[in-house]
Amino acid sequence: MIENTGDPAAHEMLGRIESGSVASLVAALNDLGDDDRRALARRLPAHLAERARAGFDGGRVATRYRMAGAACLGGAQQVASWLHRRELARAETEGDTGHVMAVLARRPETWRRDLAVRLVRRLRPGTGPLWWRVQARGNWELAAALVIETGAEPPENDAFVSGWVARLAYQQRMRHGAPVVGDDRLLDHMLPRLFQAQGVAEMLESNRLWSDGHTIVGELAALSATGRVPRQALIDGCVSRFLTGVAASEAGPFVALWRELAPRVAELPVADLVRVLPSASSPVVQLAVEELQRAESEGALGDELFAEAAEALAYRPEKKYMTAAVKWIAAAPPARGGLAVGALAAVLLVDTPSLRERAVRAAVKLAPHACAPDRDAIREAAARLPADLRVRLAAGFGAVEEPVEEPGAAPTLTARPLPALDPPIASVAELAAELDRPLWPESPARFERILAALVTLTCQDRDAVVAGLQPWWRSNWQHPFDAGAYASWYGEDIRFLLERCVLAVVSPADSRALTSACAGYHRADTDPAPQRFVRRRFLEVVSLLERGETIPVLLATPTSATGHVDAATLVARMELLGETEPPAHDFAQALLRLPRRIDPDAAARSEQLPSQTDQLPSQTGQLPSQTGQLPSQTGQLPSQTGQLPSQTGQLASQAGLLLARVEQLPSRAGRLLASVLRAGGLPDPVVTWAMETFARPEYYHESQEEAHARLTPPDGVPEQVAALWTLAPKPGYPAYSRDMVWWPPVMPSHREAVAAHVLECLPWFMTGSDGQVQAVAALAHGDGPAGIATASAIVIGMGHERAAERAEAADAIITLAARGELPGADLGVAVARIVRGGQVKLNRITGVLDEVTAAGAHAEVWAALARALPLLLPGPGEKARAGLGELLKVAVRAAAQAGARGELPGLAELAARKGSSLVVHEARRLSAVISA
């Protein structure tokens, strides 16, 4: 309802914004007099705020508000601010610019030029998926239209330049490769900025990857041939980008443009190409080396630049550029090569025997032409070489002193602790504030905290919760509610399920409609069992709250960062429920989260717990949160739980008091809990492991041989747990889930079961950046057996394409090693079998093992490699596996620090081979270390 405050024209305009055609609104706004414009300007912000609280019904309404503000607000600054309001960000892209320009036409050109500059200045880089940023250009289109119409000089803004590239890419795709750059009216403005603006490279690279052969880079090169674009401007632009630094991931478009231009030797900026060598990314360095070699072949590279280039390459970390430097120096005439011989000192320090050998040969050849400083540098580096190489260099450069090296102490292993749990949410206001924060990325501990507070606070005062969460409801859901709009994507993800739990409290009718709509979209239960388990637990809460029912507390809310629930706390929560049966999956989750071992302090504390439910605190957060351990009936736990600390008679008595309280619980769940406690906790599932051959589509897996674990539940466990502990890999597509971070806290006392499920899904994510290897790091903090399934999950994580993900696998190894729980022999078998099967690359495994060795896990790494190497070493007549030399190098370091002694099958035969390859060299070193 639009209130009439005595401004009939403004009242009419507000009504037109609510309904009516856009064309009629344009005409009406242009017909307004100055007084009516000012009246509308006064009322417009408040009206927009009211509509925003109620929720827009689409981008068309946002466009009408943008038109009204552009027409009636006074200054260019006011209009720019209005057009950039967050509430108006969802305006329809198609047609929005034309409609706003139509109501701006009455403004003076100087005013519109000012607005153009202000709009450009306010643009910000896009967020979200690239395809969305390419199409959802918002105010960019309007700013560009004003710049073109008024001839304004746009201010420097990277977002404006990258938006221009995004528009070209979009137009090129819509026109199926037809030229779009040459006729673009912003080309002359943008060309000088194209090589400096952030975000441009990403757009150009996407354009290259998704094009049908016609690219923006290709059009620029073609336009340079016709003179429409200055050729030298493109060459200079590429060089400036190379010099200012461009990451390897962003270098592709500029390297491609350079190759399309194919500069002649006379056009090469030789000095600048030499300047990029020390620090540029590898694609740029490769291009520079090729171009400098062309210059060298035509005599366009002076002596000083030659020496500078060779030295820069020799000090690069990549072996291929060190090799290029050695070749370049060795191939040069002796007098010219002598100018760069000092660069070989850096190559003498590398751990690649063949490369060191080539550097020594080149240095000895050029020794007569070396100056005094270079001779000193060679002698200093030679001091660290093997004796035979030192002798050869001493003949040309003088006596070399062998330094005395003292072995350093190995670092102490330290496991990174998990972050502590936040205190429980104690009020509706705190709950509302927590829900206002973004729910991504997902944090199981945070979601559990929100869910526990929602259930408990709703039980205490549902009306207060409904009132307190009204702002959240209005801003996060459509009004009027359209269940079908949410059904296809609100039925599965945990983040959305948490929001559905809240919706079930605030608006049960909407929640029931959404539940019904989601049922039609729900796919078959082919998700991994842990994912189904987590989802069903949340859906239990949704169903409970939709029915208007409540319970005072959820049983399974963790009391420890690992996901464990203290036994005494669980008993107290059960007493709060009284005769009420808990939700089935919440109860099963609580059983799974019970610790495996008795904590003497926990049993003592349990005696002090109040025995009457009316004496217990009403809030989950006020319940005891100790991380005590699960008492057993006889003081003996199943063999899987490890060794039990010695207990005193007094402790047994105190543990018996807690068990006695459990046996008084009136519910069926209470009786089941008592039986679980008497048995010493849930027994572990049976885990079996094998390398299996499955037929996979070629584009998902390079190899058909994969590591798999199978789970078989023991008899007598609840059906929800039995379903969770049933895993039988089948031919076809592997399991898939983006929510593996939830799995370790689901089963914190059954580490091998978690690992078995992770092993099924993790190979899907070997190139992604979703952080799924965090699940491997998290399960290491749990409890229970750690065997071949755990080791295999770690190995798969070690093989991830991204270093940040491999670091999570390294963290898992360090955590387990620091706790004395790393299954070293199993890890070695998993490394060898999975590498041989082709699921992971050996060089990535080697990097992680080197990292954890340096962190202090040398003994554990050697234990693993002692099992892995006999399975990876080549047999008689076989060629060594790629990357084996680097792995042997790690083995040498780990064995030396661990003081290892003994023999490895096949090592002596490999060490006896002729040659100076890295594999043979390191095999000799390892043989010497373990036989010393």
Residue tagged 């005891």 (tokens)? 624
Domain identity same for 659 and 757: no
Q: Which of 276, 310, 411, 432 is nearest to 858 (CA)?
A: 411
Q: Which spans in 151-230 are helix H?
A: 158-174, 187-190, 200-210, 216-226
Instruction: Tell me the DSSP string of 664-683.
Output: T--SHHHHHHHHHHHTTSPP
Higher pLDDT, 661 or 642: 661
Give the separation between CA 450 and CA 467, rounded to whole angstroms: 17
Domain identity same for 469 and 537: yes
Domain identity same for 674 and 813: no
Domain identity same for 602 and 690: no
pLDDT digit string, tens, across residues 478-496 = 777 888 778 777 777 899 9
pLDDT of residue 19: 76
Give the separation between CA 390 and CA 733, rounded to whole angstroms: 57
**Residue at 433 is within a domain:** yes
In this structure, which amino acid lies at residue 797? G
Tokens of 268: 């090469």
Binning pLDDT at 50, 70 and 90, where does residue 625 land? very low
For the ranges 390-399, 658-667, 851-860, the one whose mean pLDDT is highest: 851-860
Q: Give mean pLDDT, residues 345-349.
A: 92
147 contacts 154 by C-beta, under 8 angstroms: yes
Binning pLDDT at 50, 70 and 90, where does residue 91 land? low
Binning pLDDT at 50, 70 and 90, where does residue 270 land? very high
Domain identity same for 613 and 737: no
> With 90 as the cut, is the pLDDT of residue 748 above it?
yes
> With 90 as the cut, is the pLDDT of residue 456 above it?
yes
pLDDT of residue 652: 53
- How many Cα neighbours within 13 Å face the side chain of 765? 26
**Residue at 488 is within a domain:** yes
Tokens of 447: 């979601």
Q: Give mean pLDDT, residues 781-809.
A: 96
Q: Which spans in 55-199 are helix H?
A: 59-72, 76-83, 93-104, 109-122, 130-135, 139-150, 158-174, 187-190
Domain identity same for 592 and 467: no
**Residue at 306 is within a domain:** no
Return the ∠ at Cα 783 (arms to 743 and 422), rounded to 5°.
65
What range does the domain containing 673 cover?
A: 569-619+627-637+646-681
Give the separation between CA 532 and CA 516, rounded to whole angstroms: 19
Domain identity same for 829 and 790: yes
Domain identity same for 583 and 716: no
Listed in sequence order, the residues at least 6 apart from 40 whose beta carbon sits closer than 8 Å to its beta carbon are: 7, 9, 10, 13, 14, 32, 68, 72
**Residue at 207 is within a domain:** no
Q: Residue 686 phi/psi, 5° resolution? A: -85, 130
Q: Which spans in 416-528 are helix H?
A: 428-436, 444-460, 462-468, 470-476, 483-487, 494-506, 508-521
> With 50 as the cut, is the pLDDT of residue 611 above it?
no
From the DSSP assignment, how many helices (H) and strands (E) are in the chain? 49, 2
Is the Cα dihedral 818, 822, 824, 828 positive or negative?
negative
Domain count, the chain: 4
199 contacts 160 by C-beta, under 8 angstroms: no
**Residue at 45 is within a domain:** no
pLDDT digit string, tens, across residues 796-806 = 999 999 999 99
Domain identity same for 734 and 817: yes
Is the Cα dihedral 828, 830, 835, 837 positive or negative?
positive
> With 80 as the cut, is the pLDDT of residue 75 above it?
yes
Instruction: Tell me the DSSP string of 74-91.
Output: -SHHHHHHHHT-GGGTT-
Q: Give mean pLDDT, residues 694-700.
A: 52
pLDDT of residue 586: 98
pLDDT of residue 907: 96
**Residue at 10 is within a domain:** no
Q: What is the pTM of this model?
A: 0.68
Q: Give mean pLDDT, residues 494-503.
A: 94
pLDDT digit string, tens, across residues 855-892 = 999 999 999 999 999 999 999 989 999 999 999 999 99
> With 70 as the cut, is the pLDDT of residue 621 above it?
no
pLDDT of residue 510: 94
pLDDT of residue 220: 95
Looking at 2-6, 288-292, 811-815, 880-884, which range is the least confident one?
2-6
Domain identity same for 664 and 724: no
Tokens of 848: 């992680």
Domain identity same for 445 and 469: yes
Rg of the chain over CA atoms, in angstroms? 35
**Residue at 437 is within a domain:** yes
pLDDT of residue 126: 67
Give the separation between CA 85 and CA 80, rounded to whole angstroms: 9
714 contacts 686 by C-beta, under 8 angstroms: yes
**Residue at 895 is within a domain:** yes
Domain identity same for 673 and 698: no
Q: Which of 883, 909, 921 is nearest to 319 (CA)?
A: 883
> With 70 as the cut, is the pLDDT of residue 614 above it?
no
